[in-house]
A = this chain, B = another copy of it.
């Protein structure tokens, strides 16, 4: 059950309230804040020493199933990136408006 299959919703299926819920948690907000550099980060890279692994898996699943992030297996790691293209296409300006204040949240 390692890095194999990951469910990702289609771009057209993204809903506003699901995305807002995914971003309504301080931990997940911090994760997305780290992903704003448009680079791929491994799961352990994100808040590594702050949160237990199983907890991080939980949060990453919520972000992924809301369509906010994309998870890609790479070797024995998982690389996570923002779905800026899809989120921006469906909700223009939303991500920027939220993440402009991601740290003070």
Question: Which residue of chain B lies nearest to A103 when distances are taken between CB atoms in the complex?
Answer: B16
Pair A101/B24 contact, Cβ less than 8 Å: no
Complex contacts, A23 vs chain B, CB 8 Å: 17, 20
Copies of this protein chain in the complex = 2
Q: Which residues 2-30 of A have a CB within 8 angstroms of B?
A: 15-18, 20-21, 23-26, 29
Count of A interface residues, CB-CB < 8 Å: 24
Q: Are A25 and B17 in contact (CB under 8 A)?
A: yes
| Chain A 11-51 per-residue mask, 1 if CB under 8 angstroms from chain B, else 0 | 00001111011011110010000000000000000000000
A65–chain B nearest beta-carbon distance, Å: 14
Is A73 located at the chain interface by the 8 A CB criterion?
no
